[in-house]
Amino acid sequence: MKQAGFPLGILLLLWVSYVTDFSLVLLIKGGALSGTDTYQSLVNKTFGFPGYLLLSVLQFLYPFIVDPENLFIGRHFIIGLSTVTFTLPLSLYRDIAKLGKVSLISTGLTTLILGIVMARAVSLGPHIPKTEDAWVFAKPNAIQAVGVMSFAFICHHNSFLVYSSLEEPTVAKWSRLIRMSIVISVFICIVFATCGYLTFTGFTQGDLFENYCRNDDLVTFGRFCYGITVILTYPMECFVTREVIANVFFGGNLSLVFHIVVTVIVITVATLVSLLIDCLGIVLELNGVLCATPLIFIIPSACYLKLSEEPKTHSDKIMSCVMLPIGAVVMVFGFVMAVTNPQDCTHGQEMFYCFPDNFSLTNTSDSHVQQTTQLSILNISLFQ
């Protein structure tokens, strides 16, 4: 919302969710047309080894660099402990269907976090000054916003794994399941984004939790719930990374020993990356434009266009022809903009309104807010 503009942000969220729904169904249709049952085998049959290798890199990188457990109090110790105690054991499962109940718990915690963000929009929002351009229709960084939204909706890299775990999998059943999931997801995303942006407007950080003050016990509980959701969700992403390694280097099958070794290596390196990075925003942007965008927009469309024998005027082909170039534009320009103009990041510092001595709730004029912000930044640097 901050990057795209509030109204345009809502429209882009709805559009990305529609494209995600379409491309997920398109992916399974492509598998049916080619007689394949994995994303990699679909691309391999359609574009040969170069396409297979490119997809393998994208599928490997997407879950590999997403481990954003960002708790500021002893975060290195907490990340290390939670990884050894929970993430690694869950990631050792060989059947993705066994992670279903774990994902259900994660969904429940997400709903709880959503309630916390909504509550703070009501109780905290009126006391945070609104930035001058808070309600403009569109902003020049909208392409970056599409990258982040793509990250939020991407699940193509494990779609065949989930599809194969269904009882009596069919394209029609998959379409109904995806449509229901996307509707729920876009509702949660819109409420999250709206409540967060209405609370902080132009002060919104790449990681929304960075906007809240450390002495807010309710939000601290929300951070804890968020950490749990990451712990419970990451094993599914690790599952995909391990499958890519198995397909590329071991012919698709891993013995028990290599299964454990590969899992430990992936988890270890990903955890080391998470220990070094404390800015979630840049991770979301780069991952969104470099990995999520081609996996959502480009590759499913390209595979379907090459495999389908439907006439050029068929709706699926028209939509695919629209998605493919849009995805290429978002990927190229989104990467350039993410590097040259990354999202704000506090690196764990508290926002100016968390210091009552430096922030007055009785006067929120633009000039006063500017002066107050400058004083607060100065005082924050003095406190350090």
Pick left, alpha or beta for residue 169 (phi over 0 → left; psi -120 to 50 → alpha; otherwise beta).
beta
Residue 189 pLDDT exceeds 60 = yes
Per the CB < 8 A criterion, the answer to whether 279 and 206 are in contact is yes
pLDDT of residue 378: 31
Per the CB < 8 A criterion, the answer to whether 273 and 135 are in contact is no
- Rounded to a whole number, what is the largest CA-CA distance in the chain? 69
pLDDT digits (tens, 9 = 90+) for 287-327: 888 888 998 999 999 999 999 888 888 999 999 999 999 99
Estimate to the nearest angstrom the gap between the alpha carbon of 314 and the chain centroid: 32
Cα distance between residue 310 and residue 170, in whole Å: 20
Report the percentage of the chain scoring pLDDT > 70: 88
> Which band of pLDDT confidence, cut at 50, 70 and 90, is reported for residue 94?
confident
For residue 285, which amino acid is it? E
C-alpha count within 13 angstroms, C-beta hemisphere, residue 103? 12
Cα distance between residue 111 and residue 117, in whole Å: 10
Strand, helix or coil at 214?
coil
Per the CB < 8 A criterion, the answer to whether 58 and 189 are in contact is no
Residue 144 pLDDT exceeds 80 = yes
Per the CB < 8 A criterion, the answer to whether 153 and 185 are in contact is yes
Residue 199 pLDDT exceeds 90 = yes
pLDDT of residue 66: 53
Per the CB < 8 A criterion, the answer to whether 294 and 326 are in contact is no
Per the CB < 8 A criterion, the answer to whether 203 and 134 are in contact is no
Token pair for 354 = 């968390």
Domain ranges for the chain, please list them. 6-66, 75-345
Cα distance between residue 268 and residue 273, in whole Å: 9
For residue 287, how many other CB atoms are within 10 A of its CB?
24
More confident residue, 52 or 363: 52
As a whole number, mean pLDDT of residues 88-114 equals 83
Residue 381 pLDDT exceeds 70 = no
pLDDT of residue 251: 80
Cα distance between residue 78 and residue 274, in whole Å: 12
Residue 315's φ and ψ, nearest 5 degrees, are -60, -40
pLDDT of residue 67: 46
Cα distance between residue 112 and residue 225, in whole Å: 8
Cα distance between residue 86 and residue 69, in whole Å: 13
Enumerate the H helices of 70-133 as residue ranges: 75-82, 88-91, 100-123
Which of 277, 250, 278 has the alpha carbon at shortest distance from 262? 250
Token pair for 132 = 């001058």
